[in-house]
Amino acid sequence: MSNYRHLYQLIEDVFNKDGIRELCMDVSLDTGVDLQFENLAGDTTRRKAQELQEFARRNQITPELLQAIHRAKPRVDLTQFGGPEPNVAAPQNVEPDNGEQGAGQIAPAITPETVYENFDISIRPTGNKNEYLLEAESPYGETADSIRNLFPFDDDNYKYLANMLRDVQASKPKFANELGEMLRRFLFPPQIQEEFSKSLSSARATGKDGLRVRLNINRESNELYQVPWEFCRDDKAFLAVNDDTPLVRYMPTNRPPAPIKVPDTVKILLAWANPKDLVELTGIQNEIDAIQEALKDFTQTGKVVIEILPKATSAELFDRVSKNRPDIFHFIGHGDLDSSGGAIVLEDGGSGHVLLNGDLLLELFQGTNTKLIILSACQTGTMGEKSKKPASAQAFMGLAPKLVWGGLPAVIAMQYDLPDRAARPFMKTLYEFLAMGKPLDWAMTKARLGLRFAILDKPYWGIPVLFMRAPDGNIWA
């Protein structure tokens, strides 16, 4: 699947006019062909890029043009045009385009832009038991009327399948398939399925990569937040592991994410807590190792800095966040269903624990420009005699939407406890694609796919959930 239909689109995205001028000079020196920037028709960046592509085609020097692009932008992926593979560890100066980015700034690896249209499915209660109104909308059309549909909360088969998938030891792909069909029948009644198929075809025909399926669940319908929508199928496949149809839980607010440029260095704060009075976590180091491995090339070149906060207390967390203002905050540990709907569990400096709920987390991160929070419950779902606590994943699923409603751009949470052997491949792939500058929902789809193929006999890929209010999946402006 192509990310660009034409080479000129890539050139326009990663070069300004001065950059195209230098490309012309480089190709001329390399081939001896008289290629003058001034002779390219038009005065816009797009027109110059189009003329450059056409000139190279007519003069049979497209391979030399691709090599020149690679020399100037070694981290750009040119393989779909027959060019070199990207060198993601290479430093690269990103040129301003229409004044949006200052000269000389260094950004994460650039790959061809991934562009989706949005397909929004809104769900709100009718007031009748288990009955909801559904509406669908995309740039290509919308359902004529709201559609009433019953969710199968009382269906014994739904309860059975949901419980089997929640039990990570018992879960099987066949349960995911069966539940996915039930979810499809709710989300995609005939009118919405028809609109979806039409919109997906239109998106492909206009050069887009597909449709971003955004579930917009009414805030009053808390029961729907615990539904494992990530297992939903369309009429052909699971949405959440299909590059054409990334699935997000979309939470539009009247406070759009504050625009910030890609930082010179992406700062990640990775905090973990393992209080002695709770069930011991077993997969912390495994997850940390996976993240460090995924980002090794970027940390070595200074593009990413990972700060680890072990045995985190509330005071230490405040100190690190206020001083270093992380771009990404990743927490590994227990969650708790407190009276506010969810909290992370920190250590108290001794043998006990304290809770940090959604209100306190929002206070902690206000004004920091933190773009993503990851809440990872690794192997904490069993109820031990020592714990007497609800499952961490359930707590994080209550906490995540509150954080996004409160103003954070995006939160990733686990709707069930993610087994240790699944956390490593998922986190590794997620961070690899985030570091490459990919949209968050696209990176999530790839991470789910990576997990699916790493563990074929368990549908663990449906456990991670993305809550987001960024309209296009980009956490950077």
Strands 328-332 vs 372-376: parallel, antiparallel or unpaired = parallel
pLDDT at 258: 57
Question: CA nearest 211: which of 445, 428, 380?
Answer: 445
Distance CA 27, CA 66 (A): 9
The ranges assigned to domains in the chain are 7-81, 116-250, 266-426
Distance CA 268, CA 289 (A): 14
Give how far Cα 251 sits from Cα of 124, 156, 218, 408, Å. 13, 30, 9, 11
Can you give the pTM of this predicted structure? 0.74
CB-based contact 108:435 (threshold 8 Å): yes
Strands 335-336 vs 343-347: parallel, antiparallel or unpaired = antiparallel
With tokens 């230098």, the residue in question is: 22
Within 10 angstroms of residue 36's Cβ, the number of other Cβ atoms is 11
Structure tokens at 101: 């980015």
CB-based contact 93:103 (threshold 8 Å): yes
CB-based contact 400:329 (threshold 8 Å): no
Query: Tens digit of pLDDT per residue, the chain (477 long)?
Result: 345 667 888 898 888 887 898 888 888 877 778 888 878 877 778 888 888 988 888 888 999 999 999 888 888 888 888 888 887 666 544 444 444 333 333 343 444 567 889 999 999 999 999 999 999 999 999 988 999 999 999 999 999 999 999 998 899 999 999 999 999 999 999 999 999 999 999 998 888 889 999 999 998 888 999 899 999 998 788 999 998 999 999 988 766 555 555 677 889 999 999 999 998 888 899 899 989 988 888 899 888 899 999 999 999 999 999 999 999 999 999 998 876 778 999 999 999 999 999 999 999 998 888 999 999 875 543 433 333 334 688 889 989 999 999 989 999 999 988 888 898 899 989 988 887 777 889 899 999 999 999 999 999 999 999 999 877 777 765
User: Buried (b) or exposed (e) across 270-295, using 16+ Cβ within 10 A?
Assistant: bbbbbbeebbebebbebbbebbeebb
CB-based contact 187:121 (threshold 8 Å): yes
> Can you say how many angstroms the Cα of residue 314 is from the centroid of all Cα atoms in its chain?
27
Question: CA nearest 146: which of 136, 155, 156, 138?
Answer: 136
pLDDT at 104: 35
Give how far Cα 316 sits from Cα of 179, 287, 305, Å. 43, 21, 18
CB-based contact 40:15 (threshold 8 Å): no
Residue 33 φ then ψ, to 5°: -80, 135
Distance CA 412, CA 322 (A): 22
Distance CA 132, CA 148 (A): 6
Angle at 129 between CA 125 and CA 133, to 5 degrees: 30
Give how far Cα 26 sits from Cα of 29, 78, 91, 302, 348, Å. 5, 17, 19, 29, 61
CB-based contact 410:444 (threshold 8 Å): no
With tokens 């009053």, the residue in question is: 220
Question: CA nearest 68: which of 81, 436, 58?
Answer: 81
> Does domain 266-426 bear CATH number 3.90.930?
no
pLDDT at 283: 83
